[in-house]
Each structure stands twice: as C-alpha cells, then as structure tokens.
Chains A and B, each alone.
Chain A
Amino acid sequence: MSAALRKAPLVVPLLLVVLFLALRTDSFLSGGNIENVLVNAAIVAVPGLAMTFCLAMGEFDLSVGSTVSLAAVVCCSAIIDGVPVLLAMLLALLAGALIGLVNGMVVTKLGVTPFIATLATLVIVRGLALAYTDGHDQIVSSPALKYLVGGRPLGVPMPILLAVLATALAWWSINRTRFGRWVCAVGSNREAARVSGLPVDRIRIAIYVLVGTAGGFWGLLIASQLQKGNGQLGLGFELDAITVVVLGGTALLGGRASVLGTVLAAVLIETIRNGLNLLNTPPAYQRISVGLLLIAALALLGLRRRVTAGPATVPAAVKEAVV
C-alpha cells in the first residue's frame, strides 16, 4: 500500500477531493457527471502522455496549443472541401506530425534550445492557422467526426477508451521497451546516450513528432466537440499539458517518467475544475486552485526528498540543464 502510494501520491488528494465533493454536492457522484469528468480528463491525458515522454527526455514542447488550433483548422476545412472525414482526420494528424518534425529538426539539427524553438513554433503555427482561415470559423457538421468524442463503442465513451489504450501503451513503452528506455536514457544523460551508440537525434525527433501528432489528435477531439476549427482554439493548452505531466510527478530534468501520475493528475485537475463549477465558484478562484495545487504537490515532493535524501553529494554524471 505504501509502495503504491509512493508511486502514485496523487491518489490521496484525489480521494479527498472526491470525498469532499460527494458530501458537498448532490450531483458530483451522478453517473453522468463522473463520465463528464473522466471524458475531460481523457482528452487532456492523451497529449499529456506524449508530453510525459518529452519531459522524460528532459525537453519541452510549448507549441502544442497552436498545433491544436492548426489541426482543427486543417481537419474542418478539409471536410468543408469535400475530403472524406477519415482522410481529413489523417491530414490533421499529419499536420501535427509535421509541426513535430519541424520542431525536432530545429532542435537537433540547428541546435536551438527546445524552449525557444517550440516557443517560436507556438507563435508561427498560430499565425499559420489564423492566416489560413483569415479569422473565419471553419464550421462543419460531421457525425463521423463527432464519433471521436461522442461515440460509445462497448458502451464506453470513445475518449475514455482511447485514453485507457494510450495509457497502457505508454506505460509499456516507457517502462519496458527499448524505445522508452532510450528516451529516459537521453533524458538522464544525453552525452552518455550518444557515446553508447544510441541514435540520439532520431529519438529526439521521434518524440517531437509524437508530441506534435498528439497535439494534432487533441485538435481533432476539440474539433469533434465543437464541430469547428479556427485560429483561436487551444490558447494556453501547452501549459495545461505540461501542468498535468509535472503534477503527475515526472521529473523536469528528465530521465524518469510517471505515466500513471500524468493520468491521475489529469483526473485530479478536471475533478477540481468540475467541482468548482458545481459549487458555483467564481473563475478567479479556479486559476488560483490550479496554481496552489501545483505548488503544493511539488513542495510535498521537495520536502520528502529533503527528509529522505542524505546530504548533498554530487552525482557523478553531471545532469544537463533543464533545457
């Protein structure tokens, strides 16, 4: 039990929040609401999982929010132009992958720090989405696209099903496969990875493509919900994705990943958001709650580290800086 808690410390605050909401509201525990929370959590968890890989590698991708917008625009305008829906969705994913590829190339081949490179693409990609649509909504009415969030294969909402699959895949991949371990190896000590003969640049590019594709997928989910795409979607989503990963306990310095932590963090944040709405809380307090949660979680982590860790001995392998 304590070992499980150490692996997923977010379970405690999650249970407390659930207990509180169950007592204070009469609608929180209704089946519809739980499903509502889980669907919202699933939607942010999937890109969060991709971002988990990125942070485990010791890097960031800030361009996700704009990718969401561009992917939604690509998908919807393709549908408007008569492209079959499946193909349109594929195009959107490709657009996301392409942005990831550009990020990866700029970071690896041109040597620009990821923070700045993806900050630049964040600005550029949103510019592209706005320029392409000229500020107009790309409105569709597509049941096929709707199926992505509204479908219920086996009676389970599609996003939840996809998130469960993605979680299992991500967990297996990062903890048990060569690729996942290589990602952590690069995050742990990039120079060593190079000397050990790992294809470091290809691994990094692959991760950016993964995050880009996940961003594209996020865009599809949003487009599916709203049945439209435009240049204003996804504002600030990059910080949402990074927040769930960091709150989930994945180290910012790379080398380690907590897949379950990311998923739990997504559920926790969405539960709190939903709870505050059920309690009719003014929006100002919602922002503060996420900030405080983040600080509290990391402060607990820091305090625990200080208590359990011995004196500051210098690790033999010098970690690369955050960026």
Chain B
Amino acid sequence: MSTDTQTPKPARSAPASRADRAGRPTLGKLWDTWGITAILALLLAATPLVAPDFLEFSNLQSVLRESAYLGIVAAGMTFAIASGAFDLSVGGQLALVSVVTLIGYSAGGTALAVAAAVATGLACGLVNAGLITGLRVPPFVATLGTLFVFRGVAYILTQDGPKTLPYDQIGSPFVKIGGLNVAGIPLPFVIMLVVYGAAWLLLRRTATGRRILSYGSSPAAARFCGISETRIRIFVFALVGVSVGIAALTYITRVWTADGSAQDGFELKVIAAVVLGGTSLKGGKGTLIGTFSAVLLVSVLNDMLVSQGVPSAYQRIVLGCVLIVALTIDGLRTRFAAPGSFRRALSVLVQRPSPVDGA
C-alpha cells in the first residue's frame, strides 16, 4: 500500500452511529428490572398444572404472610448492596431484636414492644455503622463479627430459655400484627407493601437515594461530588437495622418465640434474594421491584416444593439450581451484551472460546 493514496471519504454522521450504541430500552435493560418478575409470573402461570392446591386462598395468604419478614429485610439490604456493601449481621440482628422485643412486650405491652423492635434494630445498625465508619473495619468483616456478637447477646439474654409470647396474650393487639388480615391480605404483607412503597420512593425519588447509588457506583467520584461516605454508611446500615426492626415485628408475632439461634443463616437468604432480584453486588445499581419479586419467587417455590412433598434434601438442590440459573442469565447478559443484545452471548455459547474472555 502506498503512502498517501487515501483521500478523505465522506464520513457518515458520527452522532448517528453513536446513537445506535445505546438508545432504546434493550432486552438487557428490561431484564435488569423485570427479569425475575417475569420468571415469577411464569411460575405462577404454571401453578394450576403443577400444584393446584397452591391457589387456595388460605395458602396464598400463608405464602404472603410468610414472605413478609424476609421481604422487609431484603428491602433494606437492597440499599446496602446498592451502596456497595452488604450486611452479614441481619440474622444476628433478627434474633436480638426479636428477643428484646419480647422482653419489651412482657415489660410494657404492645407499644413498648414496637418501640423496642425499631430502636434495637436501629441500634444494631448504628453499631455496624460505627465500626465501619469510626473504626474503619471493612463492612464484610464488621458485620461478620457483629453477626456473632448480636447472636451471642441474644443467647445471653435467653440463657434461662427462649423468650416467648405467653399463650394467654392471644387477644393482644401485638399478636394481631402477625395474624390479622386487611381486606383478605395478611397484615405482614401489607406492612411489606408499605415498606416497599417507601423504599421505592427513597431510592428513586430522593436525593439520598441518588447519593447512595452514586456512592455505590464510585466511592471516589462520590466523594468529589460532596457526598459524605460516613453519612451514606451510617444511613444505609441504620436503614438495614430499622428494616430488621420492622421485619422482626412481623416475624415475632407469627412465631411467638425467639432466642439466640433464631433464623440461623438468615443473612445468606436475604442477600441471595436481593441478588436474585437483579441488584448487583458491585454496587451502583438497585432494583426494589426485582427484590420484591425475588422474595415472592423464593417463597412460592418453597411452598410448592413443600406442598408437593419434595423431601427437604431435594428442595435444597432445586433452590440452589434456581439461584445459579437466574444468575447465569444475568451473568451472561452483563458479560457479553454490554450495549444490550443476547446475540453475541448466544454465538459465544455455540463457538468457544469467547472473544471477550480468552483463557
């Protein structure tokens, strides 16, 4: 090829070609928000065939009532994960808050119990936040540590036996929280809906929500936008704590008892639900709609497996596989289709190795 032959060709308009790159809502973008909801819808559509009993009214009520405490904590956790951290201590928090709430109830009735739940949750969140911002412990380790500590304190408080709602309190308004229905909808689920409504506003329609997402997306950049890391951390972990406080109210009024071992492994369930919903563990993104649907999906699936008499060993296997499959779709999408198409992902699956990732 000789040195200077090419003369400038009339170029296509650059903005037009750039516009192709990422304009319309793509399949990928839709999946981000609605993917898990779509799977939930599919599952529900299949229920009449697989598990006809599922659609019985009382069963639906039971599923919704039972989802609430997981769902409410998952809403709080969505903020933590969107900010780029997660809270491993929620299991310990739930145990401790539940124990303190029952102590509060026996000491001062419903009002004190509700106040104790929210206050204890908030206090747990602030302890985490203090360790993370004040002592600079990474959130993973800080909350792993407080998971042990909160559970330990709950154990100490229940050394003489689990705290229990006495049976003669069956008529008290506190107990009603877990059992009452509002227009046929279980009260815990109503509380969960309210929590999600508020959380959605907080994440999407407030400056704080924007700042949390900004911080999760790039802590360094957020700092130079005048966003205080300390305030974000405190807010987010306090929020998780309060969500546990609210969740504990719906939990304890349904189960009536708590001690240090309550809901062992709860933290992993919550994180799995949030991630299943489409919130990225890397931070910067959060979808409450996804979390909501994921919580229901897990509950519905669990209920169907239980009602169909699937042994618990196989229930585990099914739930684990669902997690991997859902996240695989997500992983393939974010990995291959950054500008938003499944085409390359498919081509890659057919002809290995991928052009994006060699080795």
Residues of A in contact with B (beta carbons under 8 Å apart): 62, 106, 108, 110-113, 115-117, 119-124, 126-128, 130-131, 134-135, 194, 198-202, 231, 239, 242-243, 246, 252, 282-288, 290-295, 298-299, 302-303, 305-306, 312, 314, 320-323
Contacts and interface: CB of A to CB of B under 8 A. Distances in A.
B312 interface: yes
Contacts of B320: 120-124, 127
Contacts of A314: 220
Contacts of A284: 152, 155-156, 159, 260
Contacts of B142: 295, 298
Given A111-B328, A113-B281, A117-B324, A123 B316 contact: yes
Contacts of A320: 282
Interface string B131-147: 10001111011101111
Contacts of B316: 123-124, 126-127, 130
A305 B314 contact: no
B328 A321 contact: no
Contact of B323 (A120, A135, A246, A321): A120
Interface of B: 84, 131, 135-138, 140-142, 144-149, 151-153, 155-156, 159, 220, 223, 260, 268, 271-272, 275-276, 281-283, 311-317, 319-321, 323-324, 327-328, 330-332, 334-335, 357-359
A288 B313 contact: no
Nearest to A231: B313
A287 B152 contact: yes
A295 B146 contact: yes
Contacts, number: 173
Contacts of B148: 287-288, 290-292, 294
Contacts of B314: 127, 131
Which 8 A-B pairs give the minimum distances between C-beta atoms?
A: A291-B148, A111-B331, A302-B136, A127-B316, A288-B152, A284-B155, A124-B320, A130-B313
Nearest to B142: A295
Contacts of A134: 313
A290 B151 CA distance: 12
Contact of A243 (B135, B144, B271, B282): B144
Contact of B141 (A130, A252, A286): A252
The SS class assigned to the B binding surface is helix
Contacts of B268: 62, 119, 122
B334 A111 contact: yes
A318 B271 CA distance: 25
The SS class assigned to the A binding surface is helix
**Which of B314, B319, B324, B357 gathers most chain A CB within 10 Å?**
B324
B85 to A, nearest CB: 9
Contacts of B146: 291, 295
A21 B137 CA distance: 28
A124 B321 contact: yes
Contact of B328 (A112, A122, A303): A112
A202 B148 CA distance: 36
Contacts of A252: 138, 140-141
9 contacts: A124-B324, A130-B316, A285-B156, A287-B155, A291-B149, A294-B144, A298-B138, A298-B145, A302-B137
A118 to B, nearest CB: 10
A292 B145 contact: yes
A118 B233 CA distance: 27
A185 B129 CA distance: 31
Contacts of B281: 113, 115-116, 321-323
A294 B272 contact: no
A134 B311 CA distance: 10
Contacts of A322: 140, 281
B231 to A, nearest CB: 16
Given A115-B281, A122-B320, 19 more contacts: A110-B324, A111-B334, A115-B271, A116-B324, A119-B323, A120-B324, A120-B327, A124-B320, A127-B314, A130-B316, A131-B317, A194-B358, A282-B159, A284-B156, A291-B144, A291-B146, A294-B144, A298-B142, A302-B138
Nearest to B322: A120
Contacts of A117: 324, 327
Contact of A321 (B137, B282, B330): B282
A124 to B, nearest CB: 4
Contacts of A128: 313, 317
Contacts of A285: 152, 156
B313 A119 contact: no
Contacts of B149: 287-288, 291-292, 295
A278 to B, nearest CB: 19
Contact of B136 (A115, A131, A202, A299): A299
Contacts of B159: 282, 284
**Which of B153, B223, B320 gathers most chain A CB within 10 Å?**
B320
A70 to B, nearest CB: 12
Nearest to B335: A111
Nearest to B221: A314
